């Protein structure tokens, strides 16, 4: 199978998250992933887009969020690109749930979810762009991945 | 446009919130408002009923994290019931079952609240 690419661009508003999930679900399903993996892809992309909207653009609604799906024979990759503030991915520390509850704090788990659900999570700063690449391999179903 | 709703029901002293649709960063403020409404009305025994909850992201889970201490400080709890497997798995992913009562049925959750009320250690 040749490489197939699809793209959706949304403004940085949470209103569009459901459209993003539908877009990812459709392509992941057509790619042949199981229902569990389709759910994992949609959740991981939702978390990435939510981080962009809340943190990279800091609530600014006009910033573009570009979602690009690349389907290769062996892997399915979703790239989320924005022009907001950069993120220190390497120094992200997984929050502790008990501590978050004690601190009455509800956020910070998005990257943790992405890493738990995806086979590969990569971040890069390219000029004025941030890019997060979320990858599932085609044979993901047979791996010991988290079931959603 | 939002495909999320919260419906309020009362069972004795327990406030039941029926969630429906997708709970994400867009709809989490609606859920937060529902929990605040319970607290403003001195309702601290809360059941979140998820039969018709189709989806949750960390933004939705964040509402539980942000409010559970306050609810427990007031002598109550938020118990979570009847989640669909795909939604339960997101709670499980972040370790919620260790720190929250997540039950199969609303009936079980009500019974647990009742036990806490009349039991030997049920003084809060």
Name the residue in chain A with its Cα closest to that of B54: A39
A27-79 tens-digit pLDDT:
999 999 999 999 999 999 999 999 999 999 987 888 999 999 999 999 999 99
pLDDT for B25 beyond 70: yes
Are B11 and B113 within 8 A, CB to CB?
A: no
| Amino acid B119: pLDDT | 57
Cα angle: B70, vertex A114, A81; to 5 degrees: 110
Give me the interface pTM, i.e. the ipTM: 0.93
A11, A12, A14: best mutation site toward chain B, by most B Cβ within 10 Å?
A: A14
Residues of B in contact with A46 (CB under 8 A): 24-25, 57
Question: What percentage of chain B has pLDDT greater than the value 90?
Answer: 90
pLDDT number for residue A120 = 97
Per-residue model confidence (pLDDT) at position A70: 98
Q: What six digits make up the tokens of B7?
A: 């419906």
Kindly list the residues from chain B whose CB atom is less than 8 angstroms away from the CB atom of residue A53.
25
For the stretch B61-104, pLDDT in tens is 999 999 999 999 999 999 999 999 999 999 999 999 999 999 99
Are the C-beta atoms of A137 and A119 separated by less than 8 Å?
yes
Q: Does pLDDT of A4 surpass 70?
A: yes
Q: Do B93 and A97 touch (CB under 8 A)?
A: no
Res B121 pLDDT > 70: no
| Among A1, A127, A9, A129, CA closest to A68 | A9
H-helix or E-strand containing B54? strand B45-56
Query: Are A97 and B57 a contacting pair at CB < 8 A?
Result: no
Measure the CA–CA gap between A121 and A77, rounded to whole angstroms.
Answer: 10
* List of residues 6+ apart from A140 with CB closer than 8 A: A33, A37, A119
A31 Cα to chain B: minimum distance (Å): 20
Please state, rounded to an integer, the average pLDDT across all residues of chain A.
Answer: 92
Query: Does residue A93 surpass a pLDDT of 60?
Result: yes
Residue in A closest to B84 by C-alpha: A148
Subunit contact A17:B58, Cβ cutoff 8 A: no
- pTM of the predicted model, to two decimals? 0.93
Confidence of residue B19 (pLDDT cuts 50, 70, 90): very high
Q: Collect all residues with Cβ–Cβ distance below 8 Å to B20 and sequence separation of at least 6.
A: B4, B5, B6, B7, B52, B53, B54
Q: Does the distance separating the beta carbons of A105 and B94 come in below 8 Å?
A: no
Residue A91: is it exposed, middle or buried by C-beta count within 10 angstroms (0-12/13-18/19+)?
Answer: exposed
Q: Does residue A145 have a pLDDT over 60?
A: no
């Amino acid at each position: 199978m040749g490489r197939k690419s699809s793209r959706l661009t949304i403004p940085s508003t949470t209103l569009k998250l459901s459209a993003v999930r539908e877009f990812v679900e459709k392509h992941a399903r057509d790619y042949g992933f199981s229902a569990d993996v389709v759910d994992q892809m949609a959740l991981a992309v939702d978390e990435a887009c939510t981080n962009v909207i809340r943190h990279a653009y800091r609530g600014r609604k006009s910033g573009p969020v570009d979602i690009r799906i690349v389907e290769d024979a062996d892997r399915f990759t979703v790239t989320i690109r924005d022009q907001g503030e950069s993120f220190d991915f390497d120094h992200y520390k997984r929050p502790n749930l008990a501590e978050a509850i004690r601190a009455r704090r509800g956020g910070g788990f998005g990257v943790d979810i992405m890493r738990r659900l995806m086979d590969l999570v990569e971040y890069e700063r390219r000029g004025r762009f941030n890019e997060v690449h979320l990858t599932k391999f085609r044979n993901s179903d047979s791996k010991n991945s988290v079931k959603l | 446009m939002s495909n999320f709703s919260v419906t309020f029901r009362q069972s004795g002293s327990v406030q039941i919130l029926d969630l429906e649709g997708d709970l994400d960063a867009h709809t989490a403020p609606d859920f937060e408002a529902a929990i605040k409404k319970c607290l403003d009305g001195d309702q601290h025994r809360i059941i979140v009923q998820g039969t018709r909850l189709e989806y949750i992201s960390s933004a939705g889970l964040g509402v539980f994290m942000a409010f559970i201490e306050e609810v427990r400080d007031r002598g109550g709890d938020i118990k979570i019931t009847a989640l669909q497997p795909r939604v339960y798995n997101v709670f499980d992913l972040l370790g919620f079952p260790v720190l929250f009562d997540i039950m199969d049925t609303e009936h079980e959750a009500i019974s647990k609240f009742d036990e806490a009320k009349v039991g030997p250690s049920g003084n809060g």
